[in-house]
Structures are given as structure tokens and as C-alpha cells.
Amino acid sequence: MDKIEINRLDIESIVNAVFVDITMQMVSIKMLRQEKFNSLSSTDYCFEIRTEGAFISLILFEIEEKVYERIATKLDENVKLTIQEKKLYVIEYLNVICGRILSEINDRLGKRSKLSVPIRIEHKVIEQFTWSRTDMSYACLDGGLNIVVYFESKDNTKEDFNI
């Protein structure tokens, strides 16, 4: 099958635009893109989302604790959330971001892809991965957040959503 080439810069551009915009919309946090990728001093909160279909990817979010707490608090400032509720709220925030990213990509490709529910994972260091990679670091008043996207693409007329 022919591969649909997805430009790394296109992915980066889409991810950046959606992430910054949706973060401002949902939690009123201004995320500033950093020039260089910065490994975070602490990666207490890592989440993984997988996509399947025309756009196959693994998206990792690495979030410093204070940023995580800020996101959770801003999603509902009226109540004191439990630890479990904070996790579920942040998962929804990441779900919205990734869904909107994938929507942009789907529209550009003219094909459909699906995504998994975000799951929290132990910090993942992926080595010797053959897929393309793009990584972005962001800073806000509370700390840092990284987004790493490993991706490939294929023209897949047979749906294989084995997420």
C-alpha cells in the first residue's frame, strides 16, 4: 500500500496550534512554546494516547506536578477535587486536545483515524523507535509540559482500530 506522507512540521504546527488554543479555552492557561525541547526535572504525570487508522501515532504528555494541579483546579474552580477526580478531569482535557488534533489531521488527510482514551503511565523513554518523532516543550507560570508525538501514516482503506 502507498504511504501518505505526513510532514513532521505539519504535525508540529497542528499540535501546537490546537494545544495552545484549547488550553486557553478550557483552563485559561497561557502555554508558551520553548525554542528547544527541555527534559523536565520531574515527570510525575505522564499520559499516553494512541491513534489508529490513517494516522498512526503515540502521543505522550509529560506534565510537571504544579502544572497538573493547576489544570485540574482550573477545570472546576468551584469544588475541591479528589485525587481520582483530578486524574479524570485532566484525562478529559487531554482527550479534548488530542481529539481536536486528530480532527485537523483527519480533515487534511481526508481519511478517518480514531484515538484511545488517555491513560496515565510511568514515564516512558522510547529508544530505537523507527517512527518519526516531533517533540515540543511548553512553559507556563506553574512549570513545564512536554508533548512528544511518534507517528507514521499509511493509506489504509481497511479499518484496523485495534487500540
Residues forming contacts to other proteins in the complex (CB under 8 A) are 22, 25-26, 75-76, 85, 88-89, 91-93, 95-100, 102-104, 106-107, 110-112, 114-117
Which 8-state DSSP code applies to residue 36?
S
Beta-carbon count within 10 A of 69 CB:
18
Q: How far is CA 41 from CA 16, 30, 69, 107, 143, in A?
A: 22, 21, 16, 36, 10
Residue 99 or residue 132: which is nearer to other proteins going by CB? 99
**Distance linking the first and last C-alpha atoms of the chain:** 21
Residue 112 or residue 133: which is nearer to other proteins going by CB? 112
CA 95, CA 117: separation in Å to the nearest integer?
A: 7
Whether the Cβ atoms of residue 23 and residue 67 lie closer than 8 Å to each other: no
Residue 23 or residue 137: which is nearer to other proteins going by CB? 23
Residue 16 or residue 116: which is nearer to other proteins going by CB? 116
